[in-house]
Amino acid sequence: MAITRRGALRASLAGGIGAAVSAVAPVPAWSAPASPPRPGDAAASLRLLEQGNRRWRRHASRHPNEGRGRRRELVHGQAPFAVVLGCADSRVPPELVFDRGLGDLFTIRSAGQVLDGSVLGSIGYAAEHLAVPLIVVLGHASCGAVTAAVEAHRTGEVPRGHVGYLVEEILPVVDATPDDGGDFVDACVRANAVHIADRLREDEDLRGLVESGSLDVVPARYDLETSEAVWL
């Protein structure tokens, strides 16, 4: 049977590609170091976060719990050891900041860590149904939502729409924060994280867990320049 030039070219290309593929050795699946078992209390959970943030600051992240085995394990359920309520800011991803992997952190993010029904319901689920022992409220330097609230505090003008809702939620904290001539925005970032942590401790769904000692709520501030999370 005669072979057309097009058929010969196709056969040649197929053979070349097949030979190239067969010559490449299979690449083993990368597996990060496994983490120790889930910590049993808030203090141990906090230590893991401190250790992870230290690695992150030193550019020595281990990226734990990202391998094939961990993914298979999480098909059957989750047991995170901390809730992190962080800002939606793209510069502050909790899993990177604390060098944690899949299933480690129950992460909730809203601009300025603003609490609403959805956020509170998500936190309550993690605390009640997943028995997470620690909640971290993670504010950060140069927070845009807090900055907008400071601007509204100074001008008396609140933005319209959904951004206005965020500003109105943060504004009472800004109004109550003394302006001593220093970095007022950063003072409000810290005050906002502390205020939200206080609200969570007093929340009707969480108060009993806090009073029993099975749940702790800790505010923190993340520094964009140093990459350090400082507990407040």
Confirm whether residue 175 is marked as ligand binding: no
Confirm whether residue 143 is marked as ligand binding: yes
Confirm whether residue 153 is marked as ligand binding: no
How many Å apart are CA 129 and CA 86, to the nearest integer? 21
- Give yes or no for a contact between 120 and 78, defined as CB atoms under 8 angstroms apart: no
Instruction: Give the helix ranges, DSSP H, for 24-130.
Output: 42-57, 68-74, 94-97, 117-129
- Give yes or no for a contact between 134 and 42, defined as CB atoms under 8 angstroms apart: yes
The sheet carrying 134-140 orders its strands as: 105-109, 82-86, 134-140, 216-222, 229-231
Confirm whether residue 129 is marked as ligand binding: no
Q: Which residues are annotated as a binding site?
A: 87, 89, 140, 143
Q: Which residues are annotated as a binding site for Zn(2+)?
A: 87, 89, 140, 143
